[in-house]
Structure 1
Amino acid sequence: MATDKRLTRALLAFATAAASITCAVAAPSYFEVSRGSNPHDVAAAPGSGAPVYYTAQRTGKLGILDPKTGKYEEIALGARSAPHGVIVGPDGAPWITDGGQNAIVRVDPKTHEVKVWALPPETGHANLNTLTFDKKGRVWFTGQGGFYGRLDPASSEMKVWNAPGGSGPYGITTTPSGEVYYASLAGNHIAHVDVETGVATVIQPPTKAQGARRVWSDSRGRIWVSYWNTGQVGMYDPASKSWREWKLPGNAHAYSVWVDDRDKVWLTDWAINAIVKFDPVTEKFETFPSDRRSADVRQMLGRAGEAWGAESGNDRLVMVPAK
């Protein structure tokens, strides 16, 4: 009898979880890159067939993939380079946070010229993570060692601030109106940054010790956050100063988060080795498991119709049709 009751409870739990999941229809496409490169972050330039950039963290290079042919090339970024984040800036160039060089790096998309802005020496090793641009074309970045900063490429002026709560600043994003927010993994919070004064204001999610890892804004300026420790996705609405949270299916570990142009939310779940799409309207999850073990997708970015990630564990990039 006890066994029957346990079986019934297990079946009910499975049915509840299954109700929030739909099967993936669109199959992922994979693109091999250099063996041992450990691609960490990825950024697709706007436009179908345009280059896709990735940071080859282990080899100190920026990778450039031609998705039409599958061919790639890699650009050395400098001595001791260990690039982490990459985004495509408003100038169309890839911009990089380079933890090894303790610097912000830009690579010219045509000439491949590498320009390096080192952090002030007094900062020390920041453990640079990710970056974003504000409406004035300034670069904002995070350092997991307990820092966030701002670079004005026009003047090369750089300012670095100590993060409230110390170590942890990780993902960072800009809203359509130009507001900047970052997530603190070790600090278990997000923070709003005043882009003129540099003051960061901590915003606490409802779930404690959640491990807020990455963060992204949707078209309405709502802030989506991946919770690494608790396997949830959170949404903060600055207009109402309110939160909502959803648990990913299973014993999840949500690493990255990105919101596409249709306001669908994309996450990566290391526990099930899959990319996960969440529809905030239907509150349904759709999973795209990798066809190889230990994919370890640490970040996602994309463009119209395409969601891109980097399988750091398999030395390849992955694209899922964002439809």
Structure 2
Amino acid sequence: MPSISRRDAIGVLGAAAWSALHALAGAAQTATMQSWPLGTPRPTGIHDLAPAPDGGVWFTAQRSGHLGWFDPRTGRSELLALGAGSAPHGVIPGPDGAAWITDGGLGAIVRVAWPERSMRAFALPKGAPYANLNTATFDADGDLWFTGQSGIVGRLAVKSATVTIRDAPRGRGPYGICTTPGGDVWWCSLAGSFIARIDRRNGDSTVVEPPTKNQGARRVWSDSRGRLWISEWLSGNLSMHDPVAKSWRSWKLPGDNPRPYAVYVDERDKVWVSDFGGNAVFRFDPGPQSFERFSFPREDTAIRQIHGRPGEVWLPESGTETISVIRTA
């Protein structure tokens, strides 16, 4: 396994910010990690993040009720208040260049136009119970599908601004959700320990059982071939399901007590997974089936989401109020 060395870069971003860089060098590839403290006046409770179209990075400030925007060129963070009671969980970029947020506190999907920063909330249907909104994904038609951990799966038909929800199979637990290149929408249940495919015509979900029982499927991401990569919170596995072959494979994360949380597949089909148990992020290469470990100089980083753009893998450190990026060669 390649070794990791540390060097500090202080002064590049001014006295208000610092960056810690880690270099990971292998025989055929290199990667560099850079980190910035958010430096906001109060703790944000940073949860998820996603690349913004202007080169910045959006993040959800779950504790303070904001959408954050971080500028890696200056190290500056900006907070946009989402409204009284806001507790945003997920954020993704939309096909329209806006930030789309699942806000459990507001019980709504919130769109923040960019760079205008104007906001519009799409509330859940009147009378809907508390949904604990979680994560979202766009399908090929431009509709937004989302999960609610209390036991719902929903759709926002963007053109008509209509929100519909359905009870999830087996009740509470819907968490991660993704869209495959072929247009299928899949989600996973943390409490139910399964994955499911949505019938986009009627919103019904078909459950697919993983081979490992009580594994705690937390997040899911598709690779370029439509294979699904799942982080299993309770089993410590990174698993892959091929819907075409109807097959499964699993790999235990290195370490004594791995707790896989976030999963992300980059443009090279390398799979990134965060490990709460080992305070690390791993890059998994499906070819040789090998893990590379990226550690942190800070304890309890708690990476709850991984997202990126070509050559960049972005990490929100919810435990340290820090944003990190791994730049890949």
Read off the aligned partner of 1:307 and give its amino acid letter: V
Which one of 258, 261, 268 corresponds to residue 264 of structure 2?
258
CA distance in 1, matches of 2:143, 2:280: 34
Residue 281 of structure 1 corresponds to which residue in structure 2? 287
> 1:177 aligns to what SS in structure 2?
coil
> Does 1:199 find its partner at 2:192?
no
**Equivalent residue number for residue 44 of structure 1:** 51
SS at match of 2:127: helix
The aligned residue for residue 81 of structure 1 is 86
Partner of 2:21: none
For residue 298 of structure 1, give the secondary structure of its aligned residue in structure 2: coil
**Partner residue in 2 for 1:312:** 318
Could you say which residue in structure 1 is the equivalent of 2:168? Answer: 163
Are 1:248 and 2:248 matched, yes or no? no
Q: Structure 1: how far apart are the matches of 2:297 and 2:171?
A: 38
Which secondary structure state, in structure 2, belongs to the residue aligned with residue 209 of structure 1? coil
Question: Pick from 169, 182, 190: which aligns with 1:185?
Answer: 190
RMSD value, Cα: 1.1
Q: Is the 8 A contact 1:23 1:286 kept in 2?
A: no
**Corresponding residue for residue 309 of structure 2:** 303
Matching of residues 115-134 of structure 1 within 5 Å? 115-134=120-139
Instruction: Report the residue type matching 2:138 in the other structure.
Output: F
Higher RCO, 1 vs 2 (CA within 8 Å, ≥6 residues apart) = 1
**Local SS of the residue matching 1:240:** coil
Structure 1: state its 5+ residue gaps. Answer: 1-20
Unpaired runs of at least 5, structure 2: 5-23, 25-30
Number of residue-to-residue matches in the alignment: 301
The separation in 2 between residues aligned to 1:77 and 1:209, in whole angstroms, is: 36
* Aligned residue type for 2:236: G
Q: How many Å separate the matches in 2 of 1:253 and 1:80?
A: 30
* Runs of 4 or more consecutive aligned structure 1 residues displaced over 3 Å after TM superposition: 21-24
How far is 1:297 from its partner? 0.6
Matches within 5 A, 1:31-180: 31-33=36-38, 34=40, 35-45=42-52, 50-180=55-185
Q: Take 1:278 and 1:180, find their aligned partners in 2: how far apart are those partners?
A: 23
Report the secondary structure of 1:271's partner residue: coil
Give the drift of 1:22.
4.4
Task: Name the one with the larger helix percent.
Answer: 1
Residue of structure 1 equivalent to 2:18: none
Distance 1:23 1:138 in 2: 44
What is the match of residue 270 of structure 1? Answer: 276
Cα pair distance change 1:230/1:115, threshold 3 Å: same
For the residues of structure 2 that align with 1:300 and 1:111, how far apart are their CA atoms? 26
> Which whole-Å CA distance do the structure 2 matches of 1:31 and 1:154 have between them?
38
Percent of pairs identical after alignment? 51
